[in-house]
A and B are shown apart, each in its own frame.
Chain A
Amino acid sequence: MQFMASKQPENSLLGPESDSQRTLYPYVTGTSVVALKYKDGILMAADMGGSYGSTLRYKSVQRMKPIGKHSLLGASGEISDFQEILSYLDELILYDNMWDDGNSLGPKEVHNYLTRVMYNRRNKFNPLWNSLVLGGVKNGQKYLGTVSMIGVNFEDNHVATGFGNHLARPILRQEWHENLSFEDGVRLLEKCMRVLLYRDRSAVNKLQIAKITEDGVTISQPYSLKTYWEFSAFENPAQGAI
């Protein structure tokens, strides 16, 4: 109770809104999403973990979802906020389809819409605690972009969120090139995901790879990466001890 009372003065600057709920910290979070452009479209990878603080609590969380006919959205951060974003986009796509006029929202439009949503929420001090990756193909044009919880957005040939920015992107900068084949793209993504699995404590060894092309979205079944632990230092850990 005392803890609660000490919080009150800080929030009261906001006036009558201080009693309403707003996101202060994330609770159930997903870790990195990594994506790259390849010959036929976009490849995206994310593991299926939902961490509750430092506990790897949920292991079957789908963090990538198709949006409309032309886009694929991957999210890291608060899972409940991701679900709310999916609900906004559902409504957006529904109204788009209701026009029934042959026009449809492509990945660029969805990306900009999400940027507006994220930025507006940030301005109200009630952010959607997510970093989003939006990829898609429309009329032969490939598109890959990202939006953060504060509304920072940009497009690139390869993007990642969270730890992926630090561990995966350097690999992609070295090894990505135009017109990767599907197999090369998957191999490159798996290389990035493996590094993340070794080094990111909130990663779980159960991932999905999603592909989006002009023909549509395919999300693979969950699978695990092979890892290697037979280092001599691990076999005989006490060797160097005094």
Chain B
Amino acid sequence: MFRNQYDTDVTTWSPAGRLFQVEYAMEAVKQGSAAIGLRSKTHVVLGCVNKANSELSSHQKKIFKVDDHIGVAIAGLTADGRVLSRYMRNECINYSFTYESPLPVGRLVVQLADKAQVLNLILAVKLLFVCDRTSQYNTGNGLCHKKDNLKRITQYGLCIVDVIAHVVSVTELNVIVKSRGYLHIILVCTQRSWKRPYGVGLLVAGLDESGAHLYYNCPSGNYFEYQAFAIGSRSQAAKTYLERRFENFTDSSRDDLVKDAITAIRETLQGETLKSSICTIAVVGVGEPFHVLDQGTVQQIIDTFETAAEQEDPATEPDAATGQEAAAEQGTAADQGGSTDEGAAPMDI
């Protein structure tokens, strides 16, 4: 994708009918380290690759428990992912409190998608000043935080001057006003958008009455349900592996599903040794609340199929490896080709 004059603002359409900022946000997802998810009829497994910045630091947390029956794996700007996890946890807990029942996964995912979509529309409200009804007002530049300015203005009977940016709606503004005891607001809508799309893709895994679900939420506000999916960098390799095997997943046992997840993660590593310290696996299923598997368990599973692989004909291994690399290259080439193609915007899947 190349820079153009329509990509500065999330509220600007291009002549081809694309929102470039949103597409750039989706690029951020592709830059994040890989996350994969797969499901059977009764279980969903999430896995992700944890790359620490250095040997000295800990790795980023990419899998979050949202509720006993829902968990999420993220790829992209992990800070955004954290914020969204907090939102999801809030929604789940509020629903649980009111209805004493777990929030259906499909509804949570729609709420997330709506939230992403709204952000693409928000215009900031710049609050220039606040005054009480009887006194006159001074427009100024609105940014008078300094104490002496405040003193000067209060001589003229003004209550306070403040700037409230990042306001989402008029109702939120009313809340802020009431909580700070302001009496009257005068505000001016700017034409600049202050908020950016979330730069994170979410793989939401959950269980509800209608069975096990795996959803993918995009920064564009779209969501899709999947049998298995992979996001992040070098995810094409994992996707290829999953595409070959997904028809068997519905009836897979829990342990086979976990093995498949670890194998899919290995595909994204492309030659690096698979260790439990660089991957995280989480499971949710019938009778099994969402939890992250501990490193020891994961290492044991890795060990079981490393030994199985050794027993296989070594001659087949190099062929399989080169075959995967070729497929991966084709995959990334296709991604780039798709994005420069003016016809189809990536989010219109």
Q: In the complex, what residues of B have CB within 8 A of residue A113's CB?
A: 98-99
Query: What per-residue 1/0 map shows which CB atoms of A186-227 lie under 8 Å from chain B?
Result: 000000000000000000000000000000000000000000
Q: How far is the CB of A132 from the nearest CB of chain B, in Å?
A: 16
Q: A102-B210, A103-B209, A103-B210 are in contact. Are A116 and B98 (CB under 8 A)?
A: yes
The reply on B107 being an interface residue by CB < 8 A is: yes
Query: What per-residue 1/0 map shows which CB atoms of A102-120 lie under 8 Å from chain B?
Result: 1101101100110010000
The reply on B80 being an interface residue by CB < 8 A is: no
* Closest B residue to A99 using CB positions: B107
* Closest B residue to A117 using CB positions: B98
Max chain A C-beta neighbours (<10 A), residue from B99, B106, B110, B208: B99
* Closest A residue to B104 using CB positions: A103
Determine whether the beta carbon of A112 is less than 8 Å from that of B104. Answer: no
Determine whether the beta carbon of B99 is less than 8 Å from that of A109. Answer: yes
Query: What per-residue 1/0 map shows which CB atoms of A87-103 lie under 8 Å from chain B?
Result: 00000000000010111
Partner of B106, one of A103, A105, A139: A103
The reply on B319 being an interface residue by CB < 8 A is: no
* Closest A residue to B106 using CB positions: A101
Determine whether the beta carbon of A101 is less than 8 Å from that of B98. Answer: no
A105 to B101, CA, bound (A): 9
Query: What per-residue 1/0 map shows which CB atoms of B230-248 lie under 8 Å from chain A?
Result: 0000000000000000000
A101 to B210, CA, bound (A): 10
Q: In the complex, what residues of B have CB within 8 A of residue A108's CB?
A: 99-101
Q: In the complex, what residues of A have CB within 8 A of residue B208's CB?
A: 103
Total A-B residue contacts, Cβ distance less than 8 Å: 32
A112 to B208, CA, bound (A): 18
Q: In the complex, what residues of B have CB within 8 A of residue A112's CB?
A: 98-101
Determine whether the beta carbon of A105 is less than 8 Å from that of B210. Answer: no
A113 to B99, CA, bound (A): 5
Determine whether the beta carbon of A105 is less than 8 Å from that of B107. Answer: no
Q: How far is the CB of A106 from the nearest CB of chain B, in Å?
A: 7
Partner of A103, one of B97, B98, B100, B107: B107
Query: What per-residue 1/0 map shows which CB atoms of A54-65 lie under 8 Å from chain B?
Result: 000000000000
Determine whether the beta carbon of A101 is less than 8 Å from that of B107. Answer: yes
Determine whether the beta carbon of B210 is less than 8 Å from that of A106. Answer: no
A65 to B41, CA, bound (A): 37
In this complex, the interface size class of chain A, counting residues with CB under 8 Å from chain B, is: 10 to 19
Q: In the complex, what residues of B have CB within 8 A of residue A106's CB?
A: 101
Query: What per-residue 1/0 map shows which CB atoms of B98-141 lie under 8 Å from chain A?
Result: 11110010110010000000000000000000000000000000
* Closest B residue to A101 using CB positions: B106
Q: How far is the CB of B97 from the nearest CB of chain A, in Å?
A: 8
A99 to B208, CA, bound (A): 15
A112 to B100, CA, bound (A): 6
Determine whether the beta carbon of A105 is less than 8 Å from that of B99. Answer: yes
Q: How far is the CB of B212 from the nearest CB of chain A, in Å?
A: 14
A103 to B104, CA, bound (A): 7
* Closest B residue to A112 using CB positions: B100
Q: How far is the CB of A81 from the nearest CB of chain B, in Å?
A: 20
A102 to B210, CA, bound (A): 8
* Closest A residue to B109 using CB positions: A101
Q: How far is the CB of B16 from the nearest CB of chain A, in Å?
A: 32
Q: In the complex, what residues of A have CB within 8 A of residue B101's CB?
A: 106, 108-109, 112
A139 to B107, CA, bound (A): 20
Determine whether the beta carbon of B100 is less than 8 Å from that of A109. Answer: yes
Determine whether the beta carbon of A139 is less than 8 Å from that of B99. Answer: no
A108 to B110, CA, bound (A): 23
Q: In the complex, what residues of B have CB within 8 A of residue A103's CB?
A: 104, 106-107, 208-210
Determine whether the beta carbon of A101 is less than 8 Å from that of B100. Answer: no
* Closest B residue to A96 using CB positions: B107
A106 to B106, CA, bound (A): 17
A101 to B211, CA, bound (A): 13
Q: In the complex, what residues of A have CB within 8 A of residue B99's CB?
A: 105, 108-109, 112-113
A99 to B104, CA, bound (A): 11
Q: How far is the CB of B11 from the nearest CB of chain A, in Å?
A: 28
Q: In the complex, what residues of B have CB within 8 A of residue A101's CB?
A: 104, 106-107, 110
A61 to B110, CA, bound (A): 41
* Closest B residue to A103 using CB positions: B104
* Closest A residue to B210 using CB positions: A102
Within 8 A of B (CB), among A19-57: none
Q: How far is the CB of A85 from the nearest CB of chain B, in Å?
A: 15
* Closest A residue to B107 using CB positions: A99
Within 8 A of B (CB), among A63-90: none
Query: What per-residue 1/0 map shows which CB atoms of B299-330 lie under 8 Å from chain A?
Result: 00000000000000000000000000000000
Known: A102-B106, A109-B100. 13 other contacts (CB 8 A): A99-B107, A99-B110, A101-B106, A103-B104, A103-B107, A103-B208, A108-B99, A108-B100, A108-B101, A112-B99, A112-B100, A113-B98, A116-B97
A-contacting residues of B (Cβ < 8 Å)?
A: 97-101, 104, 106-107, 110, 208-210
Can you list 13 A-B contacts with CB-CB less than 8 angstroms, sorted by A residue number?
A: A99-B106, A99-B107, A101-B104, A101-B106, A101-B107, A102-B106, A103-B104, A105-B99, A108-B99, A108-B100, A112-B98, A112-B100, A112-B101
B-contacting residues of A (Cβ < 8 Å)?
A: 99, 101-103, 105-106, 108-109, 112-113, 116, 139
Which 3 interchain pairs have the tightest Cβ spacing? A109-B99, A112-B100, A103-B104
